[in-house]
Amino acid sequence: MNRVLRAAAAALLGAATLPGAAAEPAAPAYPVGQGSFQANCTVCHGPVGAGIAGLAPPLLSNPGRYATSAEGRRQLALTVLYGMIGDITVDDKHYNFQMPEFTRLDDATLAATLNFLVFDLDHAPADVKPLEPAEIAAERARPQDGSAVHEHRKSVAPATP
């Protein structure tokens, strides 16, 4: 079974119990972020963030890349705060469903969730600065909708409109 299918199957079964599904290290650098990811995100993005075909994209490269630029960091905060709607392409596959908003989660939890993606799932180099709660707070102060977040994504992922 390939990775995406295994992730999808594990997500459908409601647990990462399939052999080989628990590919990530047992001790994440961001355990609070991992807990939040499992509670809020795996239902769509799969237990190890590999995405689910036709539903939600993999989170195994873009978050780590976004974290290296100011606009990319804003994009990460905007996506979790306000969700995203509109067609996107990741690894040559199209996704056009709705990412929900998570304004109910506090700034520290959202920063930890993003750091789990950036460092534990995407293995960003150690010289990348972890997302700070203040960066989430700055975007929380400027409410927008999922279409605007989709529009802003074009500035950080120009090759995948």
Residues in touch with ligand HEC (CB under 6 A): 40-41, 43-45, 56-57, 59, 62-63, 76, 79-80, 84-86, 88, 90, 95-100, 102, 113, 150, 153
Residue 83 to residue 112: CA distance in whole angstroms: 17
The most distant pair of C-alpha atoms in the chain lies apart, rounded to whole Å, by 44
Residue 14 CB, shortest distance to ligand HEC, in Å, is: 14
Residue 121 to residue 102: CA distance in whole angstroms: 20
Residue 114 CB, shortest distance to ligand HEC, in Å, is: 7
Using the minimum distance from each CB to ligand HEC, give the nearer residue, 99 or 136.
99
Using the minimum distance from each CB to ligand HEC, give the nearer residue, 34 or 79.
79
Q: Residue 111: CB partners within 8 Å, gap ≥ 6?
A: 130, 131, 132, 133, 135, 136
Using the minimum distance from each CB to ligand HEC, give the nearer residue, 21 or 40.
40
Residue 77 to residue 89: CA distance in whole angstroms: 20
Using the minimum distance from each CB to ligand HEC, give the nearer residue, 20 or 143.
143
Residue 159 to residue 101: CA distance in whole angstroms: 25
Residue 5 CB, shortest distance to ligand HEC, in Å, is: 18
